[in-house]
Chain A
Amino acid sequence: MTAQELQVTRPAAEPESVAVAPDAILPPSNRIINLGAGVGVVLWLLVLAAHRLIPQVGASFKVPADYLTPVALVVLGIFGVTFGIAYRLPTQRPRVLAIYRVLIVLGAVLIPWEVASRLAWIKPPFFPSPSKVIGVYIEDSSKLLLSIAYSMRLLVVGYLIGCIAGVSFGLALGWSRRVSNWSMFWIRLIGPIPATAWIPLAIVIFPNSFTAGVFLIAFASWFPVMMLTWSGVAGVPKALLEAAQTLGADEKRLLRQVVIPAALPSVFVGLFMSLGTAFAILIVAEMLGVKAGLGWYITWAQGWSEYHKVYAAMLVLGALFITVVSGIFKIRDRLLGWQKGILRW
C-alpha cells in the first residue's frame, strides 16, 4: 500500500526526468572534449597545410584571391574559444561537441577536396577549389543576399497560402461527410498532379511570374498538408469526442478544443513534408523569369559556367531549409508540449 501511496503522490516532474537520455544528465567527459578538439585542430591544420604547402598545378598568371586561409584560421579560433567554454561551463559541453562534429566532418571533406584541386585532379569550372566557393559569399554577397530575400518572399507567401488552404480543406474534409463525399473524387484527381505540370497554365492565368510562382508553391504544399490534416481529423479518438460531448461541448468547441489539437501532430507531419516540396518548386518557379532568387541565381550562374556560384547557392538553400525547418519545429514543440516526447521526428 505504501508503494501505491507513493505512486499517487509522486511529483509531476518525475516521469519526465526518466525519459531524458543519460548523457544529458552527465556532461561529456574531459577526455571526449580533448579528443574532439584535438582531432578537429589537426584536421584543420591539415586543410591549411594542403592549401599553403602544395603548389598549384597548372597555375595561371592571375593568382585567385585566397579565402580558405582566413576561414581555416577562424575555424581554429573557434576551436580555441569553444574549448575554453567547455572547461568554464560544463553544461555547454553537448553544444560544443555538436559544433566539433560539424567542423570535423567539414575538415575531413575539405582536405581531399583541396588536395585534388591543388594537384589539378579536379578542374574548374565544374569542380572549383574550396577557396573559390567561399569567395562567392564575399565577392557576390549583395546579389546573393538579394536572391535570398526574393526567394524567401516567394517561399513564405506561397507556402503560407498552401498551408492555410491545406489545413482548412483538411479540416472540412475530415469534419463534414458531405464535403468529403462531394470533393473526394476531384481531390484524388487533381491533388496528385505534380505542381510543375501546372506551369503552362500558371503562366497564362497569373499576371506575373511572382504570382505564378506563389500559385505553384501553394499548390505543391496544399496537397500533403490537406491529406495529413484530413487523416489527423479522421484519427481523433472517438472516446475523446464522446467525452467532450457528454461534458456538453457544442460543435464549435469540439472542433477547436478537441479535433484540432488531436489532429495537430499529423498536421505538423504534413507541414514538414510539404516544405521539401515547396523548396523544390521554388527553384523551378524561379526559372520562369523572376528578377532575383536562389533558383534564378543558380540558372544564371550556370549560364556563365560559374559553377562555384552554383555550389555556393546550393549550400545557402540547404541552410535556409534548416532554418525554416527549425522554425517549424520550434512552433511544434510549443504547441505539442503535452506530448512529452511521444512523437518526435
Chain B
Amino acid sequence: MTTSLPPAGLSVRHLHKIYPPDIVALYDVNLELPLGEFTAIIGPSGCGKTTLLKIAAGIETYQQGAVAFAGEAIAGNPSWKRSVIYQDVRLFPWLSAQANIAFALESKGIPKAEAQQQAREWIVRQGLEAYADAYPAELSGGTRQKIGVCRVLASQPDLVLCDEPFSALDWNARESLQHDLLHYWYEQRKSVLFVTHNVEEAVYLAQRVVLMSARPGVIKEIVDVPLPDERWTVRRDSPQLLDIARYVNNHIADEVRKAQLLEQELGY
C-alpha cells in the first residue's frame, strides 16, 4: 500500500545553535517530520532538546540552518499555531484558571465573550469547575498543568511542542494528561513534538521516537513504534511496548554514559 509522500510538518535542516561564547547546543541537526505525526524526542539531559523546541516555537535564535513548519519558515516568529506546553507550566499568576485559558483564545483572535465561553467549556470538560476562579498559586501542581494543557490545546495549534511537560507530576495527573494529549492528536490529527527523558512515556505516546546524542545535540536514530493509534487502549506493560522500550533504552544507555563523562569533564 504505497501512498504519495505525506505533507511536511516540522522540517529542520542543518541547524546549528551556539550559545555565546562557545556552548554548542545543536550541531547540524536534521529532522523531517510528516504533518500530523506524534513524535517523541529522547536524549540525555543537556543535549539540546529544549533548545530545539524553542527554535521550533520561534522564541530562540540560531546561527545556521533552516527551520520550517508545514512549508512555512519559522524565522523567530512565535505563533499560536506552534504552541508550547512547558514543564514549569507558566500560568499567569494574576489570571484565574479560566482567564488563563481565555488568554490563549483571545491571543488567537477569538472575541472576548466567546473566549470566556470556550474557556469555561474546557474547565467543565476537565471537571475543574471548582477551580475556575482560583489563581494558579491556589492550585496543586497537577491541576496547574491541567490548566496549562487546556490553555495550549484550546487554541488548537497545528504543532504542539511539549518540553517534559509531565515529568514533575504525580502518576494520576500524568496519565490523565497523557490521554488528553493523545485524544487531541487522535481527533485533530495535528503534529505533536514531545520531549521527555522517560523512555516508557516516549514509546507509549509517540508514533516515532527520535534519539538524540549527548552534547552537541545530533539526531542519532529514529525508532518506529508500531502500536495502534488508539494508544489509550494499549497496556503499559504490553510485551510489544516493553520490547521497544528496552531497545530504546539500550540505545540511549551509552549516550547517557557519554553525557555523564562530559559533565565530569566540565566539572559539574
Query: Which A residues are closer than 8 A to B by beta carbons?
Result: 1, 4-5, 7-8, 10-13, 15-16, 239-240, 242-250, 253, 257-258, 261-262, 264, 336-340, 342
A7-B142, A253-B106, A257-B92 in contact; A247/B170 too (CB < 8 A)? Answer: no
Of B38-46, B81-89, B236-244, B257-265, the stretch lying at the interface with chain A is: B81-89
One digit per residue, 1 when the CB lies within 8 angstroms of any chain A CB and 0 when it does not, for chain B 105-116 equals 011110000000
Report B79 CB to chain A, min CB distance, Å. 6
Residue of B nearest to A7 (CB): B140
For the complex, give the distance between the alpha carbons of A342 and B138 in Å. Answer: 12
One digit per residue, 1 when the CB lies within 8 angstroms of any chain A CB and 0 when it does not, for chain B 49-83 equals 00000100111000000000000000000111111
A243-B86, A246-B84, A247-B83 in contact; A8/B155 too (CB < 8 A)? Answer: no
Residue of B nearest to A5 (CB): B172
B138 touches A340 (CB 8 A): yes
B171 touches A11 (CB 8 A): no
Of B4-12, B14-22, B127-135, B219-227, the stretch lying at the interface with chain A is: B127-135
A4 touches B172 (CB 8 A): yes
B142 touches A8 (CB 8 A): yes
One digit per residue, 1 when the CB lies within 8 angstroms of any chain A CB and 0 when it does not, for chain B 87-102 equals 0101011110000000
A249 touches B86 (CB 8 A): no
The answer to whether B143 has its CB under 8 Å from any CB of chain A is yes
For the complex, give the distance between the alpha carbons of A116 and B135 in Å. Answer: 57
Query: Which B residues are closer than 8 A to A by beta carbons?
Result: 54, 57-59, 78-84, 86, 88, 90, 92-95, 103-104, 106-109, 130-131, 134-135, 137-143, 151-152, 155, 161, 170-173
For the complex, give the distance between the alpha carbons of A4 and B161 in Å. Answer: 27
Residues in B with CB closer than 8 Å to A257 are 92, 95, 103
A248 touches B155 (CB 8 A): yes
Residue of B nearest to A340 (CB): B137
Residue of B nearest to A237 (CB): B90
User: Can you add 10 more A-B contacts, CB < 8 Å, to A8-B170, A242-B54, A246-B78?
Assistant: A5-B172, A7-B170, A11-B130, A239-B90, A243-B92, A245-B78, A246-B59, A246-B161, A248-B109, A340-B135
